[in-house]
Structure 1
Amino acid sequence: MVSLEGVRGVALGLPEATERAAYGMPCFRVRDKIFAVYREEWHGLACLVSPEDKLALPQEDPETFSVPEHYRNSSMVVVDLARIDKEHLTELLTEAWRLRAPNRLRERFDAG
């Protein structure tokens, strides 16, 4: 189980990541582009994923990953934070960040 503070620790540890609320929800951004949104009512995290992962994750583990109606036309899946460990969440948030980060920033990050 990962808390909102755990999400913050991972998300804000990524280069140039910031947190700014939208509609009263904590949103994690890179250069003002959202890559994850905490949804308190679901104790979940809407996380940006590739089109392939948007289809695969809910099929592989429907108790952990879902695509509620609100996110049907987006590139987000909702992660049940009570069912995921920090390591897997770190992988998801890092990939979400990579999908939103500008090329040069992502290249610097990948170069280590």
Structure 2
Amino acid sequence: MTPADLHALVLTFPATEAGMSYGKPSFKADGKFFTRIRAEDDSVVVYVDSLDHRDMLLDAEPATFHITDHYRGYPIVLARLASVDPAWLRKTLERRWLKIVPKKVSKGYTPLT
């Protein structure tokens, strides 16, 4: 997956746009932080369900998933764009998007199956 692929993927979610978070280019969903590409390691910031889920991903696929100390206390994993499974990424981003946008935004959305 390339940064352009990620950009196109993220913008398929309604009410999502490119923006800035903490001085870094990011994507926002209904004005809230959604994800961003970390240019320093070509990874995407991905919220997951729990710290246990994150740790399982880190153990299962260390070539794809990693974290930095900054994210250690959060249910966030960094996924290398070059090796992340696009279907996994879409589904995981979709779950996050559904959690952060208001019901009026997600009401007509049909989740990926």
Gaps spanning 5+ residues in structure 1: where?
none
3-state SS, counterpart of residue 6 of structure 1: helix
Displacement of 1:56: 2.3
In structure 2, the partner of 1:95 is 95
Structure 2 unpaired stretches of 5+ = none
RMSD, matched Cα: 2.1
Quickly say closer, same or farther: Cα 1:3–1:24, change in 2 above 3 A: farther
Distance in 1, Cα, partners of 2:111 & 2:31: 23
For 1:77, give the aligned amino acid.
V
**Contact kept? 2:21, 2:33, Cα under 8 Å:** no
- State the distance in 1 between where 2:82 and 2:23 align: 21
Contact 1:49–1:99 (Cα < 8 Å) also in 2: no
Distance in 2 (alpha carbons) for counterparts of 1:15 and 1:61 = 30
Asked if residue 14 in structure 1 is aligned to residue 13 in structure 2, the reply is: yes
TM-score (norm 2): 0.83
Larger mean CA deviation between 91-100 and 62-71 belongs to 91-100
Among all aligned residue pairs of Structure 1 and Structure 2, give the percentage whose two residues are the same amino acid.
23
* CA deviation after TM superposition for structure 1 residue 16, in Å: 0.6
Moved over 4 A (4+): none
Alignment map for 1:71-86 (pairs within 5 Å): 71-86=71-86
User: Counterparts of 1:12 and 1:29 in 2: how far apart (Å)?
Assistant: 10
Change (3 A) 1:67 1:10: same
Preserved contact between residue 46 and residue 78 of structure 2 (Cα < 8 Å)? yes
TM-score under structure 1 length normalisation? 0.83
